[in-house]
């Protein structure tokens, strides 16, 4: 199978970026769309299924709780109710507390505007630190989920590939099985996409497809 065909099959078997599947338009570069994806990333960042995280985000969307002010106004009890409605029961108390803490920090430090946060960041790593510094509950996973879909939208959004991406890329022989340097892996993936990329799809879509493939491989391994 040619590399181009491999890329074509991978992309066509996925929905592209996770944000697109939630009808979040990051390409608009609007602060409200970026915040929606930030909220979704926090939900996806816990050890919980994609299905439950997606369902919970849609509850927030349905109730119009999609801004820092709305989240703060909803309060802890209200957030727990929304999380439970979405099936986020295992982490409801912890996540409600986290959301309030993060929104308060975002308001106090950046006026509730994630674009301001990006502008104040000095470079890629400082951007990641500022995202994680918003609250104890935002770890490497949530920060990576958030920033990887902002590649080519925010100049400083260049997170290193996560383990799921690396494992999937090795499984389908896009990168060497022996390579472990994340900087080299990111460079190799970008080179592959530059040569085999598809019209109307970006590198972030390709990366999201690898994440989905990595989840599938991991699930099969656990089953076996």
The Cβ of residue 109 has, within 10 Å, a number of other Cβ atoms equal to 15
Do 193 and 98 share a structural domain?
no
Do 190 and 134 share a structural domain?
no
> In CATH, what number is assigned to the domain containing residue 61?
1.10.340.30
The arithmetic mean of pLDDT across residues 15-25, rounded, is 91
The arithmetic mean of pLDDT across residues 40-50, rounded, is 92
Confidence category of residue 58, pLDDT binned at 50, 70, 90: very high
Do 50 and 10 share a structural domain?
no
Average pLDDT score, the chain: 91
Question: Looking at residue 201, what DSSP letter applies?
Answer: -
Residues above pLDDT 70, as percent of the chain: 92
200 pLDDT more than 90: no
- The verdict on residue 153 lying in a domain is no
Query: Is 36:62 a contact under the CB 8 Å cutoff?
Result: no
Query: Is 193:147 a contact under the CB 8 Å cutoff?
Result: no
- How many angstroms separate the CA atoms of 42 and 203, rounded? 22
Do 87 and 169 share a structural domain?
no
List, for residues 158-191, the tens digit of each pLDDT value.
999 999 999 999 988 888 888 899 999 999 999 9
Range of the domain at 73: 18-148
Confidence category of residue 117, pLDDT binned at 50, 70, 90: very high
Q: What's the pLDDT at 173?
A: 86
33 pLDDT more than 90: yes
**Contacts for 212-217 with beta carbons within 8 Å, 24 or more apart?**
212/14, 213/10, 213/14, 213/168, 213/171, 213/172, 214/163, 214/164, 214/165, 214/166, 214/167, 214/168, 215/50, 215/164, 217/167, 217/168, 217/171
Do 196 and 132 share a structural domain?
no
């Amino acid at each position: 199978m040619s590399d181009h065909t491999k890329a074509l099959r991978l992309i066509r078997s996925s929905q592209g970026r996770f944000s697109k599947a939630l009808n979040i338009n990051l390409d608009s570069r609007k602060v409200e769309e970026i915040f929606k994806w930030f909220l979704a990333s926090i939900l996806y960042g816990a050890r919980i299924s994609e299905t439950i995280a997606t369902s919970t985000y849609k509850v927030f969307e349905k109730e119009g709780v999609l801004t820092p002010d709305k989240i703060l106004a909803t309060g802890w009890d209200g957030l727990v109710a929304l999380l439970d409605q979405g099936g986020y029961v295992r982490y409801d108390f912890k996540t409600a507390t986290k959301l309030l803490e993060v929104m308060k920090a975002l308001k106090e430090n950046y006026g509730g505007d994630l674009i301001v946060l990006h502008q104040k960041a000095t470079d890629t790593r400082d951007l990641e630190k500022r995202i994680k510094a918003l609250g104890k509950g935002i770890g490497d996973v949530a920060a990576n989920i958030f920033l990887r879909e902002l590649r080519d939208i925010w100049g400083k959004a260049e997170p290193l590939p996560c383990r799921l991406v690396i494992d999937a890329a090795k499984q389908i022989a896009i990168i060497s099985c022996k390579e472990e340097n994340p900087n080299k892996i990111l460079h190799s993936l970008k080179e592959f996409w530059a040569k085999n990329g598809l019209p109307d799809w970006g590198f972030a879509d390709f990366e999201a497809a690898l994440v989905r493939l990595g989840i599938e491989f991991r699930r099969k391994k656990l089953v076996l």
